[in-house]
Amino acid sequence: MFTPTSDKRFRAGLIGGLLFLAGCGVQLGGAEPPAPAVTRVAGGQIQVAGPRGYCVDRSATRNSAQGGFVVMARCDALGGGAARPQLPALLTVSVARRDGAAGQDLPQPALMEAFADTSEGRAIFSRNGDPKSIKITETRIKDDVFLMQARDLGANKTGFSPEYWRAIFNVRGFLVSARVNAFSSQPISKDRGFETLNALAARIKADNAVSVGTASDPVSKVETVKDVQRPGLLARIFR
């Protein structure tokens, strides 16, 4: 079964190819079909696409009935056309089904914001599981989406900036983590990072006709930060 802990699981194997995408580069398409702008994961239940200029790296994307992991980079570098994104970055999206007793609860954005301010929260969001290696520099709430900017020095790979932006939200009974990863050679300002993250989250929500809290998308409210800290609730999508 696919375990959407893929934010880390696939990173090591992707570093060389993805760093190439930070620069002008040469088109990678070759004899392969053009890279698509849209893909579906979770057994086809969830559609994932990024802002204009980003295409899906099929070689790094994983899919199963329980979720998925999608990597998106510059279309022109992946052979998906000449369009370039306004922001040079690598986008990743993890999707995990909310199944099991703990998985039926989804923290509301305000509680996610409080959780991010705890040692347990920082450990979850860090690359190496060490809360001391990460500093969450800003958090925001937009509608039903929790957004954050962080500086993570844990297990940092050459070529990637320690700065990243992450959004967490619910789509059709799946927990989604969308992330904007900056390259060290092309720094991203705070506002532009949040702007791209907002666009990524909004595109995914719109494509999947999200209506949180309706009968077709039940959400059990998590009442306290302590509830958020229960094992398995968030860790499986970030590790």
* Tens of pLDDT, residues 172-204: 888 899 999 999 888 899 999 999 999 999 999
Can you give the C-alpha Rg of the chain in angstroms? 17
- In a domain, residue 28? The reply is no
pLDDT of residue 24: 32
Q: What is the DSSP string of 103-152?
A: HTEE--HHHHHHHHTSHHHHHHHSSSS-GGGEEEEEEEEETTEEEEEEEE
- CA 200 vs CA 16, 29, 50, 93, 195: distances in Å: 24, 24, 5, 9, 9
Residue ranges of the chain whose pLDDT lies below 50 = 1-31, 100-104, 210-223, 230-231, 233, 239
pLDDT of residue 20: 36
Domain range for residue 130?
6-21+34-238
Looking up tokens 């666009």 gives 199
- CA 46 vs CA 28, 172, 188: distances in Å: 27, 8, 28
* Tens of pLDDT, residues 32-48: 567 888 999 999 999 99
CATH number, domain containing residue 53: 3.40.1000
pLDDT of residue 157: 64
pLDDT of residue 197: 96
Between CA 239 and CA 234 the distance in angstroms is: 9
- In a domain, residue 122? The reply is yes
Let me know: does 92 contact 69? Beta carbons within 8 Å. Answer: yes
- In a domain, residue 198? The reply is yes
Structural domains of the chain, count: 1
The first and second tokens of residue 138, run together, are 């800003």
pLDDT of residue 226: 52
Measured distance between the N- and C-terminal CA atoms of the chain, rounded to whole angstroms: 15
- In a domain, residue 185? The reply is yes
- In a domain, residue 135? The reply is yes
Global confidence as pTM: 0.76
